[in-house]
Amino acid sequence: MARKSILVVDDEKSQREILEMILSGEGYDVTTASSGEAAMKFVADRHFDLVLTDLKMTGMSGLELLKQLTDFDKSIIVLLLTAHGTVDSAVDALRLGAFDYLQKPYDREKLLETISRALNKLTNLDAEIVSGSPEMDKVKKMILKVAKSNSTVLIRGESGTGKELIARSIHNNSLRTDQIFQAVNCAAINENLLESELFGHEKGSFTGAVNEKKGLFEVADGGTLFLDEIGELDISLQAKILRALQEKQIRRVGGTREINTDVRVVAATNRDLLSMTKEGSFREDLYYRLNVLSIEIPPLRERRSDVALLMEYFIKKHTRSSNRKISLTPEARRIFEDYSYPGNVRQLESAIERAILLCENDTITIDDLPPEMTNGTRASSMSNDLVKLPPEGVNFEDVERSLIMQAMDRTDNNITKSAKLLGLTFRTLQYRLEKFGIKRDDAAEEEE
């Protein structure tokens, strides 16, 4: 497993060296920066699991660095070190999104415990969200940030990306984790029944209402209510949702009394709600009330390094009861890893389940894959002859090394930009740079 990476920011060299010695001794991959400006250069060029910064520094302060970090990437975990006289500023930093702060002189064990707590929360999400890509690392960090508050959250993502899984993770990492998590798909219930489902009804309020019924806003009191596909709500029902969010009160269908509710709402959609507000099909005031905090889930085609992990996970999931040992032919594996997955993770799981049921001798072949995956559709539009293979053949590692060096030269040794040029993740390119022993003369990385 890759070591967790920490960026230490302090304008005092001795403090940087002490922190580097402590954290490196615990197995962390530590980088140091002498200023907030230098720290931002590092963050722009590579991924860090956590940033540990002094609050009071010459030039850019730790508070200013926090603001720039969160503007650049809201998922970054930030810890602050503060002197006794600046505790009030540290508390302000918590409101701006810092994970926690420590007072100087800090206790070594307390420092390590706080860092471990921050990183363990991220690690614990790995059990809920199967992923190893930088794109989903950002999502997991955002989950930890938004989970701390009671504000509404809007999750955006294509169908099949796992929006309910993200919503459950927010609930599980919140202060409401011991309370109920209630989910409802707004597109799956007839709009005439959805109001009763959400707000409940009084006995006799309509034909068939033979008893009073609590709605999900009441059922989920003290917990979390997940409104999936909220873009499908009828405009009249949107007004009642807005009132429930603003007033923390609901009224049952056919009722006259106001009922107080303490519910955290997490909503999700695969539609462009902002465009819908301009068209008049979604209330603008409700959109902004829902979009206090937002999480964007990237489609599976944009985080291809997750495909192999998900394949392994789904094979184990669907063979757990039978203890079958499933393998794939190289051709079948290549198609799984190259396919574009318009249906995202849900489609991948369905394809794996189908292949397990159909395969003979516990080996998945091309014949066991769904037709849409084997009819020539691929994640890439590149033709087979994009690069011509000479008759005498090539040394593939030489070709790979050459392409990497060309990309690094073109981007002035910027790993993030080079990875995009090569269609690789940041971590994959970083591994290949180390593999080929390619040295980088990037001044931004020569920090003392």
Same domain? 286 vs 305:
no
The C-alpha atoms of residue 419 and residue 320 are separated, in whole angstroms, by 37
Per-residue model confidence as pLDDT tens digits over 151-177: 999 999 999 999 999 999 999 989 898
| Residues shown for the chain | 448
| Contact (Cβ atoms closer than 8 angstroms) between residue 220 and residue 237 | no
For the cut 70, the answer to whether the pLDDT of residue 35 exceeds it is yes
| pLDDT at res. 388 | 66
- Tell me if residue 64 falls in helix, strand or coil: helix
Residue type for 44, please? A
For the cut 50, the answer to whether the pLDDT of residue 382 exceeds it is no
Concatenated DSSP letters of 198-238: HHEE-TTSSTT--S-EE-HHHHTTTSEEEEETGGGS-HHHH
The C-alpha atoms of residue 97 and residue 103 are separated, in whole angstroms, by 18
| pLDDT at res. 3 | 80
Per-residue model confidence as pLDDT tens digits over 178-193: 899 999 999 988 877 8
CATH number reported for the structural domain that contains residue 106 in this entry:
3.40.50.2300
Same domain? 152 vs 282:
yes
Instruction: Please identify, among 255, 277, 298, the residue that sits at the C-terminal boundary of a domain.
Output: 298
Same domain? 73 vs 142:
no
What is the Cα 210 distance to its own chain's centre?
A: 44
| Contact (Cβ atoms closer than 8 angstroms) between residue 425 and residue 22 | no
Per-residue model confidence as pLDDT tens digits over 335-380: 999 999 999 999 999 999 999 999 989 999 999 999 999 875 343 4
The C-alpha atoms of residue 286 and residue 242 are separated, in whole angstroms, by 6
Q: Tell me, yes or no, whether 148 lies in a domain.
A: yes
| pLDDT at res. 355 | 96
| pLDDT at res. 288 | 96
CATH number reported for the structural domain that contains residue 418 in this entry:
1.10.10.60
Mean pLDDT for the chain overall: 87
The C-alpha atoms of residue 369 and residue 110 are separated, in whole angstroms, by 52
Same domain? 162 vs 96:
no
Instruction: Locate the DSSP E strands across 3-71.
Output: 5-9, 29-33, 50-54
- Across residues 423-438, what is the average pLDDT? 81
The token duo for 257 is 């009394």
Count CB neighbours of 67 within 10 A. Answer: 16
The token duo for 110 is 């307390």
The confidence band for 94, taking pLDDT boundaries of 50, 70 and 90, is confident
| pLDDT at res. 385 | 52
Count CB neighbours of 175 within 10 A. Answer: 11
For the cut 60, the answer to whether the pLDDT of residue 386 exceeds it is no
CA angle 231, 237, 238 (to 5 degrees): 50
The C-alpha atoms of residue 132 and residue 97 are separated, in whole angstroms, by 24
The C-alpha atoms of residue 362 and residue 300 are separated, in whole angstroms, by 26
- Across residues 318-323, what is the average pLDDT? 86
The C-alpha atoms of residue 342 and residue 413 are separated, in whole angstroms, by 34
N-to-C CA span, the chain: 27
CATH number reported for the structural domain that contains residue 312 in this entry:
1.10.8.60
For the cut 90, the answer to whether the pLDDT of residue 428 exceeds it is no
Q: What is the four-CA torsion angle of 19, 24, 28, 32, rounded to 10 degrees?
A: 50
Query: Residues 6 or more apart from 60 whose CB is under 8 A from it?
Result: 35, 36, 37, 68
Per-residue model confidence as pLDDT tens digits over 243-272: 999 999 999 998 889 999 999 999 999 999
Q: Which of 90-99, 352-361, 380-389 has the highest mean pLDDT?
A: 352-361
Same domain? 343 vs 410:
no
Q: Tell me, yes or no, whether 426 lies in a domain.
A: yes
Q: Tell me, yes or no, whether 219 lies in a domain.
A: yes
| Contact (Cβ atoms closer than 8 angstroms) between residue 268 and residue 155 | yes
Same domain? 151 vs 166:
yes
Q: Tell me, yes or no, whether 313 lies in a domain.
A: yes
Instruction: Please identify, among 280, 298, 316, the residue that sits at the C-terminal boundary of a domain.
Output: 298
Alpha-carbon Rg for the chain in angstroms = 26
The domain of 119 spans 5-128
Instruction: Please identify, among 87, 107, 128, the residue that sits at the C-terminal boundary of a domain.
Output: 128
Q: Which residue has the higher pLDDT, 369 or 75?
A: 369
| Contact (Cβ atoms closer than 8 angstroms) between residue 377 and residue 409 | no
Domains of the chain: total: 4
The C-alpha atoms of residue 49 and residue 12 are separated, in whole angstroms, by 22
